[in-house]
């Protein structure tokens, strides 16, 4: 764990893409200027090889509070570790740094303050590692996937790209080869499997259902004891999270244990993903309608989180197509629609590959979001405009009440979809799961909204800062976590 691997290939134990994770020591004194490689390293082997007892793995680096000197240092150490690996590769291959160009990606939902802090880290670290002028560029994560699909799959017509990661989903609407809108939201893979607001790994539904199944699968199997040991380290380490627990189970996916298939075998848990993608479809449809664009011809998926489509669908994406078509028809008030749904076999790699093909794309005045308010007068807010609401506006009760109207409108659409498609026939979801959802879906919505605002404020300078995303998703982070816990209790009771 403490060394740079001899080889990073698809066939080796360590391969790209990597988790954004930093390996440190439990005893590291972050106020005493720890040194990369001496005190920390990129966690190249995280989820593949166990750690030592004195080690501590730090994840979720992208969303560290950069105003905090300790968090800023952790992010800097990770970036420096990656850059040193690149440097070693170039030197080994006899390549000079003169023509080196480094491209890094960011979600546009980052506050201006957070993005500025991250940009400073990149600039300072690149200069420190290479000790010369290096061309350094950044592009929104939303842009890259479209470029890959456009160059490799020959897309035609209006296209919407949804890049679903762990923390954010990055959306771009492309028209005539260029972006007409770029948006990013804190509603992604972790929103389904994570700990919501103020919950923890002990209460998480996925942990409750699948930990005993995984441990049973590890018994008397080759490599099983090592995998069980890694799970112990993740669950019992410093600040354990359900997202790290589930990320590890997804990373295993071999003859020992296949997490995707295990989730599919518990059909009621599929409701979490049907709800997740229904919310995504509703936001995307409103986003596109409110900028005055027609319904897209193509919707393309990328990012590690989009692999969860395999849980509710087959490779033909028929169920995904029917779900998005239904929601779009309701939002646009039309009766005919034929969407083309695309997702590559390695969706996480698409973003990186597309980024390398992203040249000369102008994103000025293209970054915006839907506030979540239902009124027709409340359209898209563009980040560089003067009328963008602030956190103070979002905290106002009337603002939140208007977002609740949108949530209730979504529920009407979702109810119609559930009746039309027959959840049990399409996904195997029982009425008991839907009843649980109906019982909790209108509870604590304002509280969840406040929790989402409170979390986002940690990355801002203050309440006068402009919003970078709407509030529509915040309640669903809490709802998905609560629903997962209750469905897990239901599943475990039935097994007992």
In the chain, the percentage of residues whose pLDDT exceeds 70 is: 97
Mean pLDDT of 183-205: 93
| Residue 484 Cα distances to 208, 276, 473, angstroms | 10, 12, 17
HEC string of 206-270?
HHHHHHHHHHHHHCCCCCHHHHHHHHHHHHHCCCCCHHHHHHHHHHHCCCCCCHHHHHHCCHHHH
At residue 356, the 3 state secondary structure works out as helix
- 2 beta partners: none
pLDDT at 379 over 90: no
Contact 446, 400 (CB under 8 A): yes
Contact 205, 488 (CB under 8 A): yes
Q: From 243, 337, 237, select the one nearest 294 (Cα to Cα).
A: 337
Between 140-144, 399-403, 430-434, the lowest mean confidence (pLDDT) is in 140-144
At residue 194, the 3 state secondary structure works out as coil
Mean pLDDT of 221-247: 89
In this prediction, residue 52 carries a pLDDT of 76
Mean pLDDT of 101-115: 90
At residue 82, the 3 state secondary structure works out as helix
Kindly tell me the sign of the dihedral angle through the C-alpha atoms of 300, 304, 306, 310.
Answer: positive
Mean pLDDT of 217-241: 88
List pLDDT tens digits, range 248-302.
999 887 778 999 999 999 999 999 999 999 999 999 999 999 999 999 999 999 8
Contact 100, 87 (CB under 8 A): no
Between 125-139, 171-185, 208-222, the lowest mean confidence (pLDDT) is in 171-185
Written as one string, the DSSP assignment of 418-473 is HHHHTHHHHH---HHHHHHHHHHTTSSHHHHHHHHHHHHHTTSS-TTSBPSS-STT
Mean pLDDT of 170-190: 89
Contact 142, 106 (CB under 8 A): no
pLDDT at 172 over 60: yes
pLDDT at 360 over 70: no
Helix axes 474-495, 431-440, angle to 10 degrees: 140
Q: From 440, 437, 439, 448, select the one nearest 473 (Cα to Cα).
A: 448
List pLDDT tens digits, range 41-94.
999 888 888 777 778 888 989 889 998 999 999 999 999 999 999 999 999 999
Residue 386 — very low, low, confident or very high, per pLDDT cuts 50/70/90? confident
Q: From 16, 21, 5, select the one nearest 74 (Cα to Cα).
A: 21
Please give the mean pLDDT across all residues of the chain. 90
List pLDDT tens digits, range 330-355.
999 999 899 999 887 777 788 888 88
pLDDT at 202 over 80: yes
HEC string of 10-38?
CCCCCCCCCCCCEEEECCCCHHHCCCECC
List pLDDT tens digits, range 307-327.
999 999 977 899 999 999 999
In this prediction, residue 356 carries a pLDDT of 83
DSSP conformational letter for 339? -
Distance between first and last Cα of the chain: 40
Between 43-57, 92-106, 234-248, the lowest mean confidence (pLDDT) is in 43-57
In this prediction, residue 352 carries a pLDDT of 84
Map tokens 């991250």 to a residue. 118
pLDDT at 233 over 50: yes
Provide φ and ψ at 65, rounded to 5°. -85, 100
How far apart are the C-alpha atoms of 490 and 440, rounded to whole Å? 15
Residue 175 — very low, low, confident or very high, per pLDDT cuts 50/70/90? confident
Higher pLDDT, 61 or 26: 61
How far apart are the C-alpha atoms of 295 and 188, rounded to whole Å? 23
Residue 2 — very low, low, confident or very high, per pLDDT cuts 50/70/90? low
In the chain, the percentage of residues whose pLDDT exceeds 90 is: 62
How far apart are the C-alpha atoms of 294 and 158, rounded to whole Å? 8
Residue 377 — very low, low, confident or very high, per pLDDT cuts 50/70/90? low
In this prediction, residue 1 carries a pLDDT of 43
Residue 169 — very low, low, confident or very high, per pLDDT cuts 50/70/90? very high
At residue 489, the 3 state secondary structure works out as helix
Cis peptide before 205 (omega within 30 of 0): no
In this prediction, residue 378 carries a pLDDT of 60
Decide the pairing of beta strands 340-343 and 298-302: parallel
Mean pLDDT of 134-153: 83
In this prediction, residue 359 carries a pLDDT of 66
How far apart are the C-alpha atoms of 350 and 46, rounded to whole Å? 22
Mean pLDDT of 384-413: 94
pLDDT at 457 over 50: yes
Residue 496 — very low, low, confident or very high, per pLDDT cuts 50/70/90? low
In this prediction, residue 341 carries a pLDDT of 93
């Amino acid at each position: 764990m403490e060394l740079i691997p001899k080889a990073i290939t698809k066939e080796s134990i360590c391969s790209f893409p990597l988790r954004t994770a930093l390996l440190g020591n439990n005893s590291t004194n972050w106020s005493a200027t720890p040194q990369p490689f001496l005190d920390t390293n990129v966690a190249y082997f995280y989820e593949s090889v166990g750690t030592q007892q004195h080690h501590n793995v730090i994840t979720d680096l992208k969303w560290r509070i950069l105003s905090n000197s300790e968090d800023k240092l952790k992010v800097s150490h990770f970036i420096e570790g990656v850059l040193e690996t690149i440097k070693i590769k170039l030197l080994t291959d006899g390549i000079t740094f003169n023509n080196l160009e480094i491209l890094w990606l960011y979600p546009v939902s980052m506050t201006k303050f957070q993005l500025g802090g991250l940009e400073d880290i990149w600039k300072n670290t690149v200069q420190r590692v290479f000790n010369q002028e290096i061309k350094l560029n950044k592009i929104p994560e939303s842009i890259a996937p479209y470029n890959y699909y456009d160059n490799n799959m020959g897309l035609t017509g209006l296209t919407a790209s949804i890049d679903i990661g762990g923390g954010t989903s990055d959306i771009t609407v492309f028209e005539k080869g260029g972006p007409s809108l770029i948006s990013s939201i804190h509603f992604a893979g972790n929103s389904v499997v994570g700990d919501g607001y103020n919950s923890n790994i002990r209460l998480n539904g996925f942990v409750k259902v699948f930990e005993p199944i995984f441990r049973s699968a590890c018994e008397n199997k080759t490599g099983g004891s090592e995998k069980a040991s890694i799970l112990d380290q993740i669950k019992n380490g410093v600040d354990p999270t359900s997202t790290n627990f589930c990320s590890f189970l997804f990373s295993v996916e071999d003859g020992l244990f296949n997490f995707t298939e295990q989730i599919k075998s518990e059909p009621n848990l599929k409701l979490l993903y049907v709800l997740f993608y229904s919310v995504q479809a509703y936001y995307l449809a409103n986003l596109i309608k409110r900028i005055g664009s027609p319904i897209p011809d193509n919707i393309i998926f990328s990012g590690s989180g989009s692999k969860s489509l395999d849980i509710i669908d087959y490779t033909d994406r028929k169920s995904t197509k029917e779900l998005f078509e239904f929601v779009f028809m309701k939002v646009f008030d039309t009766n005919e629609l034929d969407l083309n749904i695309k997702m590559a076999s390695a969706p996480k790699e698409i973003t990186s590959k597309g980024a390398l093909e992203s040249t000369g794309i102008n994103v000025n005045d293209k970054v915006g979001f839907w506030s979540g308010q239902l009124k027709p007068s409340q359209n898209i807010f563009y980040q560089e405009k003067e009328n963008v609401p602030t956190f103070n506006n979002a905290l106002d009760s009337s603002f939140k009440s208007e977002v609740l109207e949108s949530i209730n409108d979504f529920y009407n659409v979702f109810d119609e979809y559930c009746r039309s498609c027959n959840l049990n026939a399409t996904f195997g979801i029982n009425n008991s799961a839907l009843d649980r959802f109906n019982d909790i879906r209108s509870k604590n919505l304002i509280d969840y909204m406040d929790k989402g605002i409170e979390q986002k404020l940690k990355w801002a300078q203050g309440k006068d800062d402009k919003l970078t995303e709407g509030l529509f998703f915040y309640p669903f982070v809490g709802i998905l976590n609560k629903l997962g816990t209750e469905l897990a209790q239901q599943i475990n009771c039935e097994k007992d």
